[in-house]
Amino acid sequence: MSDADEAFEATVAAVRERVDPDSAERERLAEAAERLRSRAREAVADRPVEADVVQVGSTARDTWVSGDRDIDVFVCFPPALDREELKSYGLQVGHAVLPDGREEFAEHPYVTGDVDGFDVDLVPCYRLDDASEVRSAVDRTPFHTAYLERRLDADLAGEVRVCKAFLKGVGVYGSDLRTRGVGGYLTELLVLDHGGFRPLVEAVADWRSPVRLDPGETASEATFEDPLVVIDPTDPGRNVASVVSAESLARFQHYARELLDDPRETLFKPRDPDPLPPAAVREHVRDRDATPVALAFPAPDVVDDRLYPQLRRTTGNLADALERRGFRPLRSRAFTDRDGRADDEDDGEPRAVVLIECAASELSAVERHEGPPVAVREHATGFHEKYDDDDGYGPFLDGDRYVVERDREYTTPDGAVEGLLFTAVEREVGHVRSAVEPLSLCVDQRHLVRRRGGRPSASVGLPAAVVSTVAIASPAPGRATSYVSGTTTVSVRRPHGTPAGRRGTRGRGRPSASTGRRVGVLSTGGPRSSGASITARRRAGDSGRGWGHGRDGADYSQTSR
């Protein structure tokens, strides 16, 4: 065995010792799970319906990692039951088993709660003979458990736990739409298909996207456009890996290679980056000589699987619009502080942040606009007639084409954001409503401060990771910016100077501000700026529906660990 092989095996052995539950932990979970199943069976017996009670998920398949506290119990009702009856009986059984539980909603409602320190989900589903008959996503889960229970022995279950630790450590574990990574069932299929953790890592290191795997040898002819395709052995028309993003797949590959090249336990432990202090961020921004644009606003009160796709699409749409206008976004990112907020920063309302860094801080006042070749008579004539009375330069001939040089609509990123978020993003994000309630805020280095009558009345902390970015990203003097979030339009303006960054007749005059949601902050500009005032108007009683659409931007985190 080579030194590299010995290092790999030693690393995996150390991780295995950490992630394998000990006998006491297994006993506690087994006792809690049996009590839950027994309660569920009793609750079913008290009702005029028959159903099977099964434990599913990683605790049923013995692939759970030490420290995990999740128990999933499914109540499988007969398919003759209509959907409304399934919901009703499912919630009745759920509340009988978890009297202090709360209702959550996936494709239909279920009850979740705490029992003896374990997080418990009690979920109703249909009892079906074949996975191809599923009526909702949860109906597949018992089939997944049955398939893997027959194939995963104790050694492979241990390999799955090691793989889960690795995926968590490198940030790609989870099939939720926030992570868009590798979920538990997919992890188990990959380890099973490759015969262990190391063979899987070696295969992943050499994958070339798109990758297609068929662990159950179903010979499925179904086609998919995803970067990773893993045919579901219980339902050959389904791709288990459909949620895995290209970025998550690339991250998996990067760290698989790194693990093989330099095995170490740190790759199996999640590590949040240390936030830079404001002074260090200012120095980085000065050195980069770029222009960051940051938007911070109350996160819509929706589940993460709805919120994060919206944030990504919003970020992508705005970054694309800035790219088309020549501001050359370098990187973009959207995130929230729903988790990990400090107690002294909690004002009861989580915030979302969209951050875009642009290479161009200011463009020329005019831009070149090329028309069709003169030889294309109909289109060339139309172009000439359209711009003949324009205030710009031209039309004139350059080579065989008509060209005009016209006033650039936006000359700075913040000027572009101001206009774009009143037009394209308004269409994507929400509806502008009439405004009746004024709300004024300001930005300092660390907080949004609500101001009423010129005096601060409340302080709202920002996520530590973006505190300094927002601080250095305030509008420079003379710049103004506006945006829409949900039904809110916010104008951001430095206390002195005139609006800049927008040319032409459409740039004259102050934009109106209309709202339906209270908003946090839009901060833009370069390292020279500090502080901004924000004004928003808010329509009383509006629910703030219709927020958010966006696509994912690039990851600011580095890959070295």
CATH architecture of 154-268: Orthogonal Bundle (1.10)
pLDDT at 261 over 80: yes
How confident is the model over 72-115, as pLDDT tens digits? 999 999 999 999 999 999 999 999 999 999 998 877 899 999 99
The residue with greater pLDDT, 556 or 316, is 316
Q: Give CA–CA dist 168/187, Å, rounded.
A: 11
How confident is the model over 399-438, as pLDDT tens digits? 999 999 988 888 888 888 777 765 543 444 333 222 222 2
How confident is the model over 41-66, as pLDDT tens digits? 999 999 999 999 999 999 999 999 99
Q: Where are the domains of the chain?
A: 17-149, 154-268, 280-361+412-538, 366-407
* The three-state (H, E, C) secondary structure of 428-459, written as one string: HHCCCCCCCEEEEEEECCCEEEEEECCEEEEE
226 touches 278 (CB < 8 A): no
Instruction: Write the DSSP assignment of 534-548 as a string of letters.
Output: EEEEE-TT----S--
528 touches 478 (CB < 8 A): no
* Span 324-344, average pLDDT: 77
Q: Give CA–CA dist 156/195, Å, rounded.
A: 7
Question: pLDDT value at position 298?
Answer: 82
* Span 354-361, average pLDDT: 90
**Closest alpha carbon to 366 in 397, 390, 399, 347:** 390
pLDDT at 545 over 80: no
* Span 123-140, average pLDDT: 91
Q: Do domains 17-149 and 154-268 have the same CATH topology?
A: no
How confident is the model over 266-307, as pLDDT tens digits? 999 998 888 888 888 888 888 988 888 877 778 887 788 888
How confident is the model over 167-199, as pLDDT tens digits? 999 999 999 999 999 999 999 999 999 999 999
Of the CATH numbers 2.60.40.10, 3.30.365.10, 3.30.70.590, 3.30.1330.10, which one belongs to the domain with range 280-361+412-538? 3.30.70.590
- Between the ranges 71-85, 310-324, 546-560, where is the mean pLDDT highest? 71-85
Q: Rg (Cα) of the chain, in Å, rounded? A: 28
Burial bucket for residue 17 (CB in 10 Å: 0-12, 13-18, 19+): exposed
In the chain, the percentage of residues whose pLDDT exceeds 70 is 73
Q: Give CA–CA dist 57/64, Å, rounded.
A: 9
Query: In this structure, what DSSP letter does residue 512 have?
Result: P
Question: pLDDT value at position 266?
Answer: 96
465 touches 352 (CB < 8 A): no
CA distances from 14 to 17, 85, 202, 263, 411 (A): 5, 49, 19, 11, 57
> How much is the pTM?
0.73
In the chain, the percentage of residues whose pLDDT exceeds 90 is 51
How confident is the model over 222-241, as pLDDT tens digits? 999 999 999 999 999 999 99
- CB atoms < 10 A from the CB of 371, how many? 21
Q: Give CA–CA dist 255/251, Å, rounded.
A: 6
Task: Read off the tokens for 260.
Answer: 């093989």
Residue found by looking up tokens 């079906």 in the block:
128
Confidence of residue 474 (pLDDT cuts 50, 70, 90): very low
3-state secondary structure of 336: strand
Lowest-pLDDT choice from 109-118, 139-148, 374-383, 422-431:
422-431
pLDDT at 446 over 50: no
CATH architecture of 17-149: 2-Layer Sandwich (3.30)
